[in-house]
Amino acid sequence: MTQTAIAEHADEHHPTSFVSKYIWSQDHKVIAIQYSITAIFVGLVALVLSGLMRLQLGFPDQFSFINPESYLQFVTMHGMIMVVYLLTALLLGGFGNYLIPLMIGARDMVFPLLNMLSYWTYLLSVIVLLASFFVPGGPTGAGWTLYPPQAILPGTPGADWGILLMLISLGIFIVAFTMGGLNYVCTILQARTKGMTLMRMPLTIWGIFVATIMGLLAFPALLVSAIMMMMDKVVGTSFFMPAIISMGETLDHTGGSPILFQHLFWFFGHPEVYIVALPAFGIVSDILATHARKNIFGYRMMVWAIVVIGLLSFVVWAHHMYVSGMNPYFGFFFATTTLIIAVPTALKVYNWILTLWKGNIHLTVPMLFAIGFIFTFIHGGLSGLFLGNVVIDLPLSDTYFVVGHFHMVMGLSPILVLYAALYHWFPKVTGRMLHTGLGKIHFWTTLVGAYSVFLPMHYLGILGVPRRYFGMAGTDYIPESAQLLNANITVAAIIVAVVQLVFIVNVIISLRSGEKAPANPWGATTLEWQTPDNPPKHGNWGPEAPVVYRWAYDFSVPGAKDDFIPQNVPNSAVEVTDAAAFAEAGK
Amino acid sequence: MSIFSKLTEKPWLAQPEGMDPSLLQPAATYWPARTALRFFLATVTVIFLLFIMTMLGRSQMGDFHALAGEPWLPFDRPVQLWWNTGILLLSSLAMQVGLWLARKDQLQASLLAVMLAVLFVLGFMLAQWYVWQQLALAGFGLTTNPASSYFYLLTAVHLAHLFGGVVALGGLLQRYWRRQSSDKVVASLALCTTYWHYLFGIWLVLFALLTSSAGTIDSLAALCGF
C-alpha cells in the first residue's frame, strides 16, 4: 500500500510511429485526450437532443420532425449519454487518465495496454449506442432509467432494436470502465512517487480514487440488470416481466418483478451520481485553492468526507423509488440516510467557502467556473433535501421540480467543474493558453443562461407540470403562463447551447495561435505543473522522477518569498524572506 | 501503518529535512497485478451477490418453484453436479500443485499440472453443458420457471468467468514457452491460482443455492428481508 520504487517500471513502451503515438497509443496523456474528444463529441450529440426536446416544449407542435415517439427517444438518449457516456467518461477516462500519473509522479498507468484497450472498448460502446439511431424503430424511448415492463414492450419507441443496442452498449461500457478503473486504482495505490503519501495526494486524486472504487462496485448492478432484461427480451424469461397483456395479447411472461429492476438500477444509479460528483469535488477543491492562493480549508475533513460520501452513497438508492411502492419503514430508512449524506456534503461546501474567505482571489476563467459551481451545487443540494423527504417527494415526484433539481446538482454543477478543469489544465495539455475574454463570455452566458433554464423549472414543478410529457393538452390545473415560461426556458436553452460554440472556437483559435503557456501559469503546487517539458513528453519526468516533500496546498506560506511552494521542493530550496515566520508556520 | 493512522496524518506539518519517514520507508512490493486481481474479485463478488439477491427476491413470487426438495425434482439428488464439482476441484488442485512445483523451480512439471488444470476446466464446461441438456430433457427449459431460468443464467455467468480465466492462462502459458524466469511464472501463476480457487468457491455457493429446497430458499430470502 505504500509508495514504491515505481515508475521506472512503466517506461517500456516507447512509441515509434504515428500510429503507435497517436492512434494505438499506450501513453496515458494521449488516451486521456482520445477519451475527452470522444466524450465531448457524444456530449454535443446529447446537447442537440436536449435542444430538440426544448423546441417541442417551448413551441408545441410547431416542428413536424418531432413527434411523441421521437421526443421520448430524445429524452432517453440525452439522459443516458450525459450521465454515462459524457460525465463518467470525461471525468474518469479523460481527467483521471491525464492527471493520475502526473499528479502522483508516475511515468504512466501501471497497465498501459489495458488502458489503451479501455479507450477502444469505450469507443465501441459509443458506436453501438449511436448506431441505434439508424436501426428500424430508432433508439429506445424508455427513459434513461429503462424501467421494465414498458422498456421492452411494443408501444415504447425502439422496443425491438433500440433497447437491445442500449443494453449491449452499456455492457460494453462497463467492460471498458472496469479495465480503466482497475488501472486508476492500482496506479494510485502502487505507482506513487517517493514521498507521495496518501495524505499528500491532491484532492483531485482522492476524488477520482474513491469514485473509481465506487464504480467498480456499482456498475456490476447495471450489468446484472442489463443481462437479465436482455434475457427477458430475447429468450422470454420472466425476471422482471410480470404477467401482462400487451396490445390485446396475453404474453408468456409470468410473475416477474419490475420493482426488482428498479432496486438494481438505482443501486447503480445513486452511486453513479457520486461517481460523477466526487472527481468534480476534488477538482474544484484544487482549483479553488490554487486561484485563491490559499491552502484548502480542512484537508483531512475533505478526504474523510469523500470517503464517507462514497460509503453512504451505497445505502440511499431507494430514495429514487418513494412512489414505486415500498414498505413505509424503508422510506423512513432511506430518507434518513439521504439526510445523513447531506452532512459530509455540506461540510465540503463550507470548506470551499472558507477556502475563499480572505483568500487572494484571482478571478481567472477556471476560478469563475469553480465559484459558479458552488452556487449551482448549493441550489441543487438544497432542492435535494426537499426531494429526499418522503412526504415532500410524493407531490413533487415526476414533475419539473425533479428535472430542475438533478440538472442543477448533477448536470450543470459537474459541467461547470469540467469547464473549470478544461480552462485550468488546457495550458498543460496543449502548451497554449485559452483566450481569457472568450472564456469570460462563455462563463457568464453559460451560468446566467443555465440558471434561466433550470431555476424556473422548480416553479413549473411546484405548479405540477409533469416531466417526460410530449404535450400538456387538457391539463386545466396548469395555468397558461406556464407555457410562456416554457417558451422562455427554450430560448435560454438554445442560447446556452449556441454559446458552447464559443468554447469550441476558443479551443481551435488557441490551439493555432494562442498565447504560449508558461510551465506553471497559475502558480500551482501540484506535480503536473513541475514537469521538465510543457506539455509533458512520453514518460513525463525525463531521467529523474520527482520526489515529494510536502502536501499539495502550501500557498502563501508566511516567510516564503513566493506565494506557492511546489510539492517537489524541499525546505532547503525554498527562498525565504522571513526565516522566523517560515519556521513558525511549521515548515 | 494502518489505514486509520494514515488517514489521520497531518500533511501540512513539514518533516525535518532528511527525516521524512515516507522517504525512508522501504519500497513496498511492486505488484500491481495482485492489487488489480483483488479489486477485480471484489467486482466479481458484487456481480454474483447481486444475481443471488435478485434470485432470493424473485423466489418470493408465487411462480417460483425450487429445483430440489421433492423426489420428482431434478436436483433432489444432484449426482451429476457432485461429479462436476469434483472435476472443478481437481482443476483447482492441479493449479495449486502447478504453483507449488513452479516455486520449486520445476517448470516442466508445473506446466504439466497447469495443462491438466485447463483440461479439467474444459471437462467441467462440457459436464455443465451436459447438465443443461439433461435439465432441458427433463422439462425444465430456460423459461419453464424462474428457478430454472436462474440455474441456466448463474451457471452460464460462472462459466463465462471460468472462460476468462482460461484466456488469461493462455498469457501465462506463453511465459512457459518463452522459458521466462521462474519468478515471473510464479507471479502470474499465483494470481491465476487465486482466481481458480475463488471461482471454485463461487461454484460451491451457487451449487448449494441452486439445489436448495423451497424451505431453505424461503429462509434465506427471509434473512435478507424479502
**A4 pLDDT above the threshold of 50:** no
| A134: pLDDT strictly greater than 50 | yes
- How many whole angstroms separate alpha carbon A295 and alpha carbon A313? 28
The CA distance from B158 to B150, in Å, is 12
**A169–chain B nearest CA distance, Å:** 18
- Candidate from B8, B12, B46 with C-beta closest to A551: B12
Integer angstrom CA distances of residue B116 from A503, B87, B165: 60, 11, 14
Helix, strand, coil abundance in chain A, percent, nearest 5: 65, 0, 30
In chain A, what percentage of residues exceed pLDDT 70? 97
Out of A1, A194, A217, closest to residue B43 by CB: A217
Q: Which residues contact B119 (CB under 8 A, 6 or more apart)?
A: none
Task: Render pLDDT for A135-147 as a digit per residue (tens, 0 to 9).
Answer: 999 999 999 999 9
Phi, psi (degrees; rounded to nearest 5) at A576: -115, 135
Interface A–B counts its CB contacts (< 8 A) at 156
The strand pairing partners of A432, in sequence order, are A516
Mean pLDDT for B199-216 is: 97
The helix (H) or strand (E) run that includes residue A249 is: strand A249-250
Task: With CB atoms and an 8 Å threshold, state whether A547 touches B54.
Answer: no
pLDDT score recorded for residue B1: 59
Give the minimum alpha-carbon distance from B159 to chain A in angstroms, rounded to a whole number: 15
Q: What is the mean pLDDT of residues A188-211?
A: 95
Q: If pLDDT is split at 50, 70 and 90, which confidence band does A17 have?
A: confident
The candidate with the shortest Cα–Cα distance to A92, out of A195, A212, A233, is A212
B179/A contact by beta carbon, under 8 A: no
Contacts of A228 in chain B (CB under 8 A): 54, 153
Residue A555 DSSP one-character state: B
For A182, the closest of B12, B28, B36 (CB atoms) is: B36
Across the range B191-199, mean pLDDT stands at: 97
Q: Spell out which residues of chain B touch residue A197, defining contact as CB-CB under 8 Å.
A: 6, 9, 11, 22
Of the residues A219, A225, A259, A260, the best mutation for testing chain B's interface (the one with the most B CB atoms within 10 Å of its CB) is: A260
What is the DSSP secondary structure assignment for residue B160, as one 8-state letter?
A: H
- Determine contact, residues A130/A38, Cβ cutoff 8 Å: no
Please identify among residues 59-88 of chain B the ones whose CB lies closer than 8 Å to any CB of chain A: 61-64
What is the predicted pLDDT for the residue at A317? 94
pLDDT at B25: 54
For residue A282, the one-letter residue type is G
User: Is some CB atom of chain A closer than 8 A to the CB atom of B46?
Assistant: yes
pLDDT for the residue numbered A121: 98
CA atoms of B199 and B124, how far apart (whole Å): 12
Chain A segment 19-48 residues within 8 A of B by beta carbon are: none
Q: Mapping DSSP to helix (H, G, I), strand (E, B) and coil, where does residue A364 land?
A: coil
Domains, chain A:
7-239+256-512 (1.20.210.10), 517-587 (no CATH)
Residues of B within 8 A of A2 (CB-CB) are: 1, 22, 25, 27-28
Q: Which pairs from B163-169 meet CB under 8 Å and 24+ separation?
A: B163/B125, B165/B121, B165/B192, B165/B195, B165/B196, B165/B199, B166/B118, B166/B121, B166/B122, B168/B192, B168/B195, B169/B114, B169/B117, B169/B118
> Residue A584: which of A560, A558, A564 has the closest Cα?
A558
A residues 409-468 closer than 8 Å to B (CB): none
Question: For the segment A224-262, what is each residue's pLDDT rounded down to a tens digit?
Answer: 999 999 999 999 999 999 999 999 999 999 999 999 999
Q: Once rounded to an integer, what is the mean pLDDT over residues B72-86?
A: 94
Residue spans of the domains in chain B: they are 51-61+71-223
- Examine the pLDDT at B22 and tell me if it is beyond 60: no
Residues 6+ apart with CB under 8 A from A404: A383, A454, A455, A456, A457, A458, A460, A461
Q: Band of the pLDDT at B123, cuts 50, 70, 90?
A: very high
Chain A neighbors of B23, CB-CB under 8 A: 194-195, 547
Residues making up chain A, counted from first to last? 587
Distances (CA, A) of A201 to A90, A91, A250, A341, A529: 21, 18, 59, 24, 14
Residue B19 has a pLDDT of 55
Q: Is A194 on the interface with B (CB under 8 A)?
A: yes
How far is residue A502's CA from residue A498's CA, in Å, rounded to a whole number? 8
Task: For chain A, say whether B167 makes contact (Cβ under 8 Å).
Answer: no
* Residue A372 C-alpha, separation from nearest chain B C-alpha, in angstroms: 28
CA angle A452, A453, A456 (to 5 degrees): 75
Angle at A466 between CA A460 and CA A472, to 5 degrees: 95
Asked if the C-beta of A178 comes within 8 angstroms of chain B's C-beta atoms, the answer is yes
Q: Judge: B28–A1 Cβ closer than 8 Å, yes or no.
A: yes
- What does the angle CA A218 – CA A93 – CA A501 come to, to the nearest 5 degrees? 120
Other beta carbons within 10 Å of A96: 30
Q: What is the average pLDDT across A376-392?
A: 95
pLDDT in the model for residue A515: 95
- The arithmetic mean of pLDDT across residues A493-514, rounded, is 96
ipTM beyond 0.90? Answer: yes
What is the Cα–Cα distance from A460 to A496, expressed in whole angstroms?
A: 20
Min distance B90 CA to chain A CA atoms (Å): 30
Confidence tier at B184 by pLDDT (50, 70, 90)? confident
Cross-chain residue pair A110–B12, CB shorter than 8 Å? no
Across A346-365, average pLDDT: 97
Give the model's confidence band at B6: pLDDT under 50 very low, under 70 low, under 90 confident, else very high.
confident
Nearest to B7 among A199, A216, A571 (CB): A199
pLDDT value of position A13: 56
Q: Identify which of B1, B14, B22 has the shortest CB distance to residue A3.
A: B22
Where residue B12 falls among pLDDT bands split at 50, 70, 90? confident
Q: Residue A586 pLDDT > 90, yes or no?
A: no
CATH class label, B51-61+71-223: mainly alpha
Note if the pTM is more than 0.90.
yes
State mean pLDDT over A498-518. 96
**Amino acid letter, B72:** W
Contact residues on chain B for A551, CB-CB shorter than 8 A: 11-12
What confidence category does residue A1 fall into, taking pLDDT thresholds of 50, 70 and 90? very low
